Amino acid sequence: MNWTISKAASEWGIDRRTLERRLKAAGWEVNPRDEWTTKDISAAIYGELELERIRKTREEADKLELDNAERRKDLITAEDAKEIFGRPLEPIARSLKDMPSRLANRVNPGDPILAREELEEYAREVCQMVQEVMSK
């Protein structure tokens, strides 16, 4: 049997607008002239019980996996990871920041100011790329 939204809302004792919202939330495009199966209407009103069970089971499995990894000390915090992987980059970052003043005269003795500006821009770009990679 197929249902219009108005007939289904009346039969299930639910407001028509509420039923439309629930159908939309279930992923349907809603047109008042469309007809719906009893299964579609029931799923929109009561939810898909099996899908909810699967979602819950996956969530429980994910939580258990994280708990086990934490107990085994297989996890570190994001902050610790940034510290661990960022520390080796500190000397490189300092070197990049010092590069313009140290190399401007050697790179372009005729116009060290221009050389410094270009090297500063390059150093900023490289530091920004590293920060973007580290923030992921």
Show Cβ contacts of residue 48 under 8 Å, excluding neighbours closer than 6 positions.
26
- Token match 């809603």: residue? 30
**Higher local confidence (pLDDT), 116 or 25:** 116
Environment class of residue 130 by beta-carbon count within 10 Å: exposed (0-12), middle (13-18) or buried (19+)? middle
Mean pLDDT of 13-42: 88
Residue 15: pLDDT over 90: yes
Confidence class for position 114, pLDDT limits 50, 70, 90: very high
Q: What is the predicted pLDDT for the residue at 53?
A: 81
CATH topology of domain 1-75: Multidrug-efflux Transporter Regulator; Chain: A; Domain 2 (1.10.1660)
Show Cβ contacts of residue 119 under 8 Å, excluding neighbours closer than 6 positions.
99, 100, 103, 104, 107
Domain boundaries, the chain: 1-75, 78-134
pTM over 0.75: no
What is the distance between the terminal CA atoms of the chain, rounded to a whole angstrom?
A: 51
Confidence class for position 101, pLDDT limits 50, 70, 90: very high
Instruction: For CA atoms 128, 132, 133, 134, give the dihedral sign.
Output: positive
